[in-house]
Structures are given as structure tokens and as C-alpha cells.
Chain A
Amino acid sequence: MTTATHTAAAGNHLSTGAALLTIMKLRTFIALFAVIIFFSIFAPNFLSTANMILMSKHATQNAFLAIGMTFVIITGGIDLSVGSIVGLCGMIAGGLIMYGVALPLGYTVYFNVVEVAIIVMAVGILIGAVNGLLITRLNVAPFIATLGTLYVARGMALLYSDGQTLPNLTGREDLGNQGFSYLGSGSILGLPVSVWILIVVALGAAYFARFVPLGRHIFAVGGNERASRMSGIRVNRVKMFVYMFSGFCAAIVGLIISSELMASHPATGTNLELNAIAAAVLGGTSMSGGRGTIGGTIIGAFVIGILSDGLVMMGVSSFWQMVIKGLVIIVAVVVDQAQRRLQQRVTLMQMAKAG
């Protein structure tokens, strides 16, 4: 119980603590390498180009949603509605191509594919805006507000076609709305178009988070809303933005999935919000707000995507896949909490020792 041993023990604690902290911070990278190495050994053809492209297409869908989700979570909120927005936006895209918009007086307007994409994205942003208004103006908790829009949007998607799938979205030459398949099946320089779009959106989001005041404010609001307000940050505007952006990302996914399948199904995107949250959390976004990076989230989305595809290739039953995915998410959050506590402890110990 002498002071000397006491200090030495504390010193040891400190250095192991710091080392552990570094490992925890790199956990997403470690997880990515772990899944890649694991499956390249145990899953046949895992490393083939065809498989890589297929997996990246799958992971891309999660990644879009996860980017939007990351901003939302950084502000301290959550967006449960994105899966339903995917479904509704897919239906609207399909409907616009198949049926156009019937105007009174018996005219029907058909839009070309670019116009359809723009309208669908506007719808996604609009639903995000509804989420934002509920949360900022009516003070509904984000969880509840977006849970509500989750049901409403899914219901609307089902109502749109009475639950039917809209098949064969090839468009008609005489209407000039062909080419919808390009988004989901086209490729540029060997990479799928959707992956290119992801690259653009991800770089844009990362740029936004660092170089645009509104992007920076997202972090401040999530870190300390009161202090942000006192510093003159328009907190409501920031929150509106993140939910609208999340809706926008969901709309893109809706377009991509419909384009890939050349069909719109109203149940598309069910549970995708959970994948997006998982990807964000796995990528180091803190559920309590204030911390997170777009890069980390993308890696997280790829870890989850590769994990599920790899397990399929290994022939693991889909029931086990669910169990494994769930465990990975739980471990990610546990590690996140442990990291926070450890970080605090290390800082406090350092300060206590420094006096």
C-alpha cells in the first residue's frame, strides 16, 4: 500500500488504457479486414471480380442510407423512416414511368427518366422535411416522429398500387421514357453506376461536413445543443437539413433498387433503416450524438454488406445470418460505450496525475 506501488500501478493502467483506446478507435478497419480475410479463406470465389462488383452493389444501398443516417445520428436524432421512403420512392418512380401523371381533362403527362429521378428525389426530401418539422416545430422525439412516418410512408407505398408490384419499367419509345435500367445495371469504367453515385454523394457529404458551416454545425448541435444555440447556431435549421438529406439518400436508394429490378415492389426497403443504423454505429458514429465520420460509416456499411453476402456464399442459413448480424451490432455499441468510458478515464487519470 505504499505510494510507489500505487503510482506504478496507475501508470500501467494508463499505458494499457491508451493502447486499448487506439485499438478501439480502429475497430471498424479491423472489422473490415477481418471479414474480408475470413471470407476469402472460407467462401469459394469470394475474391472474384464478379463477386466483388455484386457485393459492392449490395453494400452501396446500405451505404447511401447510412450516410444520411450518420448526419441524423450526429445531431443526436434517429431516422427510422428511411426504409419506407425507399419503398415509397421506388413505387413513385415505377408509377411515373408506367402510368405518368393523369391530369384533369383526360391528358396524361409522362416524364423522361431524368425528370422522374428529380421528382422522386424531391419526394424523398419532402418526407424528410415532414420529419424535420415534426421534430423541430412540434417537439416530437425523433424516434417517435420517424416511427410515424415509417408507417405512413409504407402504407402509402402499398396504397399506391394496392399492394401490387409494378413490373417491366422499360418505358416506351414513343413516350421517350426509356433507359431507367441504366441507374441499376449500367457501368462506367467497369464500376456500376450506383457505386459511382455513391462515391459522389459520399465525397460530397464528407466535404460538406468539413468545409461548409452548416455541416460543421451538425457536429456542434449533436455535441451540445444548448451551447450551440447560445453560440448563435440555428439548431432547427440544422435538424431540418439532416432529415431532408436523409430522405434524399433514401430516395436515391429507391431509384436504384427499382432500376436494378426494373420493377417496383411496395415492400422494398423493409428493415433497411436498421442496416443503416448498424452501419453508422459500426463506423464509429456515437448514438449520443456529436461524433461520427462519413468514411467510417461507408466502411461500416461495407462490413455489414460483406458479412451478409459472405455468409450466404458459405451457405449459412439465413436464420443464423440474422443472429450473427445482431451480435455484430451489439458488440459494436458495447465497444463504443467502453471506448467512451475508457477515454474519459484515461483523460481524468492523466489530469489527476498532472495535478
Chain B
Amino acid sequence: MSGIDDGDVILELKDITKAYSGIVALKKADLKLRRGAVNVLVGENGAGKSTMMRIIAGVERPTLGEIWMDGERIHLNSPADAVRHGIGIVFQELNLFGNLSVAENIFATREITRGLRGIDHKAQVEKANEFLNRLEAGISADTLAEDLPIGQQQLVEIARAVSLDTRILIMDEPTSALSAAEVDVLFRVIADLKARGVAIVYISHRLEELMRIGDYITVLKDGQITGHAMVKDIDTRWIVRSMIGSDAKDFAKQVDHEPGAEVFRTEEICLPRAQGGYAVDHVSIGVRKGEILGIYGLMGAGRSELFECIMGRHEHYTGKIFIEGEELKGRDTTRRIREGLALIPEDRQREGLVQSMSIADNLSMASLGQFLKGGFHIDLKLEKTAILEAIRSLSIKAKNPEFDVTSMSGGNQQKVVIGKALMTGPKVLLMDEPSRGIDVGAKADVFRTMRRLAGEGLAILFSTSDLEEVMALSDRIAVMSNGRLVTVVDRRNATEDMIVSASAEGHKTRRMHA
């Protein structure tokens, strides 16, 4: 660690802790950003990188800790504060106004005006085109943002950040949607900004990229800084070691059991997209008793939408769904659950938990019908026994089931959502990104639980965008891309290369058509 503190520090985070309800995303983290350098930040999903950047960008305020800029303590209470301090950010999720032109997007909130005569659209377009040309984006500033493909939208975001005269520019996975040529352009822009003294914060999962353009590197793991060095002193192995740590992913040991007969099958599930095309494109897939089928795919591959169709969340999907050979008739979620399906939603906070209720109430809310006496009276004893049984069998850490569910850690909250689904007595369990937003230890726990449930004969269908996870956990692997089911392979025959190339399949064919 010696010899790396010489750089010209512009911004320093000291002892930053950020707690959300259910998870501590950052624990006493320190970070120094240097002028005229590319400061790289790496870490696994959920390590706290995005949280840290949101704090620097003024979107979130730290629960504890201090931020210093040029030797002065500053408070970033809003994104506007951050902009005033010369901090610009390109978010991972696109934050463009689709209904506005590119120029209007770039100059949003600081429109060029002509006094009382309103916005000077011509000047805006001209200036915007200047920035875009510098990025060699090939975008005209008067097109509507929503008409651009994702990659170009990303470039617009970057142009907007650059146009702010930023001293610190944060890029959260800027290349995830860019083609190789676009990445080269981006790197030239970064080099240009660097030469002008801008401190760049660069977040990415692509290690070879980091090695190529990084100057300083900071590694985050579970909300803590686990490594800090100059890029020229280290190699990718050092990064991986700092990222994963000694407790490398402890995926559940394979309990080998032969899956039984097919319990679940979909035929030609199809969900049209509002903008044309299909979010889910004629997907037919089957799962056997006791089998874990992993669905791998990138963002927007249609995994969540497929699950939502299966659960009867969309009214206008087509296709058939069978459980144990019987076609399901009811099209609403209530009946789907009664017929033996259960879903662990991807977004735990928005779709999984009722934050205002206790742990116990959350667990039993979907299965109250099972504890009835005389048709309507809930037998509290019966309910309590079932709740305690769920807490025990999933080893949920709940001091008191009557406490608010938000008082638990993210991993335990996830287990509550799983417990709620299991209490309905499903035959098929759908899990959408079951490891999202929980820490490594809880992940391993959730995975062990999945294995055990499969061992007990449950058919599990889970989706993930984590390659390692899908390889380690699935009996069979399905790959979705752009709404289509590209391939289904047995894990024993699957290789990472194969899966990655399959996951890009849907986009290739789309481009050919275009």
C-alpha cells in the first residue's frame, strides 16, 4: 500500500457508512479520488460500489461519515449540490428523458435561454452537437432520446456529464451497453478528460478494461474496502483475490439426486412489447421434480417477464402452462399460487415484502387460508407454529417474529420472502435473481436452501445474470437473450464461453434484421 498516496487528491470519503432498511451497503469505507487520473472501483454485485457513487453524486446521504473536497469538509445533500462542486455522474441505469431531444437532455435544468424569449433551441442543438462530435458519437442533437439505441443513449449521458465542466466524472459501468468501437471512442474521451485534470471514477466488471485505462484501483467487498493500489503494480489475479477474499463463494455442495418426472412445462409463452417485438418470444421450457433449472441472461433478456407471465401478472400474454400435465386455467396470481406456483420476485423491497408488517405477518400473509377454523377464523396457534417452523427450517435470524421485517438484514429479508412462498406449499418455485442485494454469506445460505428444497422434490426455476452462480447451482442451464430461449444445456456439458455467446445470440439476429 505504500507509495500510492502521492497523487493529487481532490475528493476524500472518510469512514462512510450507509445503511438502507435491511442492509448495510457500506461499512466505514474510505476512498481517495485523484486529479487527472482514472480511479477504478471494482467489486462484486452488491459490494457497495453504486452506493458509494450515489453518495458522491449527492443522490444518497451517508448514514455516518464525512466527505472532504480540496481539504474542506463538504455536504452533498442533493445532486444539485454535487453538480455545484463539479461532480458529474453517468449512471448505470440510463436517466434520459425519452420524450425530449438529445440537446434538451444534455441541457436539462440549465437550458440556454434568451432572456424572456425562452429557450434558445438552436444554440442548444449547436452546442450539444459540439459535445457529441467530440465523442464521435454520430448522433444528431435534435433526435428524440428514446429513438436512439441503448449504446448511443449511453453516449448521450456521457456527453451530458462532460458538458457540465466536471472536475470529477463518475462512470458507472459505462461500457456495459457499448460496442467495441464505441468503447474505443469512450477511452479516447477519457484520456482527453484526464489530460485536462479531471478525476475520473470508473466502475466496471470487465477486468481487462480496468487494467487498460486505470491508474488507481480500489476494491470493494461487502461494503468494505479490501484493496487499494496503483494499477501498474498489480495484476488481475490480485483484483480477483481482493474481490472474492478468502471465503470464495461457498456454493452449496452438490447433493446428487436424480430429478424425477416433469412437473412444470410452458408452451410458447409470448409477451408482446409495447414498442413492438416480444419481451418474451415463444418460450417453451420444462422443469422436472427436484431439478434446479437456471435461466441465464443479460439485463432485458426477458427472464423477469417470463416469470411474470407464468405467475399471471400480464393480461395479454399467450401460451400454455402445465403443472403435472394439467393445463392451468386461472390467469390471475391468486389462482396460480393455489395451483402450486410461487414466485420470489427480483425486487424484494417493491414486490416481496410488506415493510409495514412484522416478520411473522409477512411470512404468513400468502397462506392464511391454511390456518382457518370454521371457514373464516384464523387459528393463531396453528399460524404461529407454521411461522416458527418456517423460521427454523430456513434458519432465519429473527430475534422476535413480531419485530418489523425492515429490522432484518437483506439476506434474512430474502429468506422471509422465500419462507412466505414456501408456506403456500408450491410444487414449482420461481426465483428471480434470488441473490440480488444480499451479502456473500447470506447468498451461500440461500443457495444451500435452494439445493435442499430441490432435494425434497421441489422444482426450482431461477434466473440470474451471474455466470458463476448459474454454473454452480443449476442442474440444467437455459440461456435467454432478447426474449428468446436460445438454448438449454445440461450443466455437465456447459462451458462459460458457450453460455456467454448464447446470451448475446438474440441481439445478433436482431441486428441482422435491422
Contact = CB atoms under 8 A, between A and B. Distances in A.
A105 interface: no
Contacts, number: 105
A211 B373 CA distance: 10
Given A216-B365, A222-B356, A347-B407, A233 B334 contact: yes
Given A211-B377, A211-B378, A220 B354 contact: yes
Interface in B358-382: 361, 365-366, 368-369, 372, 376-378, 380
B354 A234 contact: no
B338 to A, nearest CB: 7
A347 B333 CA distance: 33
B17 A352 contact: yes
Nearest to B334: A232
Contacts of A130: none
A233 B21 contact: no
Interface residues of A, number: 34
Contacts of B378: 210-213, 216
B333 A224 contact: no
B406 interface: yes
Given A219-B361, A348-B19, A348-B63, A230 B351 contact: yes
A197 to B, nearest CB: 22
A17 interface: no
B361 A352 contact: no
Residue among A291, A347, A349 with max Cβ neighbours from chain B (10 Å): A347
A161 interface: no
The prevalent SS among residues of A at the interface is helix
B350 interface: yes
A10 interface: yes
Given A216-B361, A223-B355, A290-B357, A232 B376 contact: no
Contacts of B356: 219, 222-224, 286, 289-291
B474 interface: no
B354 A224 contact: yes
Interface in B396-417: 404, 406-407, 409
Contact of A352 (B63, B350, B365): B63
A187 B19 CA distance: 57
A223 B63 CA distance: 25
Given A224-B353, A351-B24, A231 B19 contact: no
Residue among B27, B332, B333 with max Cβ neighbours from chain A (10 Å): B333
A164 B409 CA distance: 63
Contacts of A10: 64
B311 interface: yes
Interface residues of B, number: 43
A232 B337 contact: yes
A293 interface: no
A334 to B, nearest CB: 20
Given A223-B356, A347-B406, A352-B63, A213 B351 contact: no
A220 B24 contact: no
A344 B356 CA distance: 11
Interface string A323-355: 000000000000000000000100111111011
B352 interface: yes
A212 B376 contact: yes
A24 to B, nearest CB: 15
Nearest to A211: B378
B221 interface: no
Contact of A351 (B19, B332, B369): B19
A285 B160 CA distance: 45
A213 B366 CA distance: 10
Interface in B284-329: 311, 313
A232 B21 contact: no
Residue among A10, A224, A232, A234 with max Cβ neighbours from chain B (10 Å): A232
A299 to B, nearest CB: 20
In order of increasing CB-CB distance, the 9 nearest A-B pairs are: A290-B356, A223-B354, A223-B356, A232-B337, A231-B366, A213-B368, A352-B19, A232-B334, A348-B19
Given A228-B365, A232-B336, A233-B334, 11 more contacts: A10-B64, A223-B355, A224-B350, A224-B351, A230-B351, A231-B337, A231-B366, A232-B424, A234-B332, A351-B407, A352-B18
Interface of B: 17-21, 24, 27, 63-64, 311, 313, 332-334, 336-338, 343, 345, 350-357, 361, 365-366, 368-369, 372, 376-378, 380, 404, 406-407, 409, 420, 424
29 contacts: A213-B368, A213-B372, A219-B354, A219-B357, A219-B361, A220-B365, A222-B356, A223-B357, A224-B350, A226-B351, A227-B352, A227-B354, A228-B365, A229-B333, A231-B337, A231-B365, A232-B333, A232-B336, A289-B356, A290-B354, A344-B21, A347-B21, A348-B20, A350-B407, A352-B17, A352-B18, A352-B63, A355-B24, A355-B27
Interface of A: 10, 210-213, 216-217, 219-220, 222-224, 226-234, 286, 289-291, 344, 347-352, 354-355
